[in-house]
Amino acid sequence: MQRPFLFNIVLASLLLGAPASAAEPARRVLRLQYSEEARAAACPGEAALREQIQARTGYDPFREDAPEEVAVAIVPRGADLVATVKYRDAAGNVSSQREFDVPSSDAACGQLTSYVALSIAFALTPFGLDERAPAAAAPSEVALPATPRAAGAAPRPQPAIAPGKPLHSTQISAGALARIGVTGEVLGGFSCALRSRLSRSVSLALESRNVFPAFAPGARTGRAGADQGASSSAGGSAEQALYTRSIVSGAIASCFHLRDPFVGCGLVEVGTLLLSGQPGGDLDTILLIMALGVRGGAEVALSDTFWFYAHGELLSAFRLQDAPAIDALRTPRLTASVGAGLLAGF
């Protein structure tokens, strides 16, 4: 009689003790270090971040005595608001780092806090959902963690990129341009451009450029108008002084935005050098020219829509048209230009 009774006691102990050991998977805990610059003070703050992470994980994962640490820093960078998330192991070494950015706006801080909370919650429970969602579980037991599971399926949550600058955003610019070296004179004028951002790091622009002599134009030898290529009645050349009137051109610029605010571009320019028989006179001669080179510059955000830009260019200019009587650009010539203006995005 005593043996069946003892057997039942042992069996009941095993049945009651087993769920207690498997009820909860091992939970990871971290120390949280949170900081934000004064210009990011409109963000919800540390308390809101803790609440969102706790809501996604189902427990409070932060302990002051935890061996591992996660450091969150929110700072403005140009026209964006950026959050850096660093994980440090027990030895204090950075084991992982992620960065999220959104364009500065009234809703930017709230969006950024949500992305950071999602990332940290996913890092805390990478396998917990599979262990805590058996087939017989009630829907309420898995409904809360389902959101970070679906949104965090990629190694780095992608929503942080979606609200950024559109991949095909259109931008226009207008500004002043100064140039030297095409004809040995200082030229000044204006430029305007239509630019498409193909990605966050690549853009393509179509530009219109028009420059004029900034000082009294210098003369060069040539034959003007209909007299070009023809001999005079005496068999000589009808030579006269030719003056630069303007350079009208169009350019294609392929640019790389690798690190704000700096921009580097490759440039192809095709246009016309307009010459006249006297300073400010009527147009006599058009010479087709081309230039190839590079551009380096910077773009500084003034607001969500406007940027100030400045750049310098180094080009090799040459003429495409055979005109022996005109000495301008007879051989390729190194030219330089600088420009500055405003850029607007849509």
Among the candidates 102, 131, 160, a domain finishes at 160
Number of domains in the chain: 2
Q: Is 8 domain-assigned? A: no
- Which helix or strand (DSSP H or E) is residue 280 part of? none
Please check whether residues 195 and 149 belong to one and the same domain: no
Task: Give 105 or 18, the one with higher predicted confidence.
Answer: 105
Give the start-end residues of each E strand in 89-232. Answer: 94-103, 170-180, 186-197, 202-213, 219-222
CA distances from 173 to 33, 84, 210 (A): 42, 32, 14
Q: Same structural domain for residues 155 and 178? A: no
Q: Is the pLDDT of residue 239 over 80?
A: no
Pick from 126, 160, 194: which residue ends a domain?
Answer: 160
Of the three residues 105, 126, 160, the one that is the final residue of a domain is: 160
Residue 28's domain spans which residues? 22-160
pLDDT value for 231? 38
Specify whether 147 is located in the same domain as 187.
Answer: no
Give residue-wise pLDDT tens across range 184-225. Answer: 789 999 999 999 988 778 899 999 999 999 876 665 655 544
Considering the domain architecture, whether residues 271 and 324 belong to the same structural domain is answered as: yes
- CATH number of the domain bearing residue 271: 2.40.160.20
Angle at 322 between CA 220 and CA 247, to 5 degrees: 55
154 and 31 share one domain:
yes
Same domain, 323 and 202: yes
Phi, psi (5° rounding) for residue 198?
-70, -25
Q: What angle do CA 307, 340, 195 make, to 5 degrees?
A: 55
CATH code: domain of residue 113 = 3.40.50
CA distance 128 to 152: 13
What predicted TM-score, i.e. pTM, was given to this entire model? 0.51
Asked whether residue 144 falls in the same domain as residue 213, the answer is: no
**Parallel, antiparallel, or unpaired: how do β-strands 69-77 and 31-36 relate?**
parallel
Q: Residue 228: pLDDT above 50?
A: no
115 and 209 fall within a common domain: no
98-155: pLDDT as tens digits: 888 888 777 788 888 888 998 898 888 755 444 443 433 333 333 333 333 334 434 4
Q: Do 131 and 179 fall into the same domain?
A: no
Based on the fold, state whether residues 228 and 314 are members of the same structural domain: yes
152 with 233, same domain: the answer is no
Same domain, 174 and 323: yes
